[in-house]
Amino acid sequence: MNSSYRYIVVEGGIGAGKTTLARRFAADLHAKLILEEFEDNPFLPKFYIDPDRYALPLELSFLADRYKQLQREVVLSDIFQPQLVADYCFYKSLIFAEQTLHQDEFKLFRQFFFILAQQIPSPDLIIYLYETPERLKQQIIKRGRPYEQNISLTYLDAIQKSYLAYFKFQDDFPILLVDMNGIDFVQNEKDYEFLLSLLDQKYEKGIHRIPGKK
């Protein structure tokens, strides 16, 4: 499998399966895999218990961690590594912070974000896995992380709407908005092959809507 996109990002809401898909893409492309390092974040379980107290330290720690990782893995990547596949984009920090922080905190956060964002390359392609909040919730319950079980449908919907709002004004690279209705790339190999085939096509910059199965 060959793809002309060097830096590919798989995005989606919480529980959309972006890490699983990114792993498979990287294996088939013989690409370097970049996975978000979130499970060791000490503020994450605390945030889900007391969001008002821990939202700002959580978002700042995620911002710092993502910046350091993408600097190391993308900016300073081996020139002999032909392709990169990541399961998040740097802009994710701003999307989540807008939902979790109070207005004055978010204004401060934005200042730090845009200083750092100037030093992180944009992806060459984003694949966004679009799921309904209800299906995301089902998948969150199924994977069983204790600190995620109380995530509300309202929060999942707000995060997804923030992603879509960001994509609407983004014209620096192609974005594939894939409707995952009827697509199960874990259990159905043909569904996975369909998603993999998307990487072999040329797209203009901006949003491209990929329909699901009826």
Helix intervals (H) in 71-120: 92-100, 103-117
Within 10 A of 187 (CB to CB), how many other CB atoms are there?
7
Give dist(CA 78, CA 148) in Å, integer. Answer: 35
Catalytic pick among 50, 52, 78, 87: 87
Task: Say how far apart CA 136 and CA 128 lie, in whole Å.
Answer: 14
208 pairs with which residues across the strands? Answer: 176
Measured CA angle at 124 (ends 23, 35), to 5 deg: 30
The C-alpha angle with vertex 55 and arms to 53 and 60, in degrees rounded to 5, equals 125
**Burial call 81-114: b when 16+ CB within 10 Å, e when fewer:** eebbbbbbbbbbbbbbbbbbbeeeebeebeebbe
- Specify which residues 85 forms β-bridges with: 8, 33
Told to judge if 87 belongs to the known catalytic residues of this protein, a careful annotator would answer yes
Residues annotated as catalytic are: 87
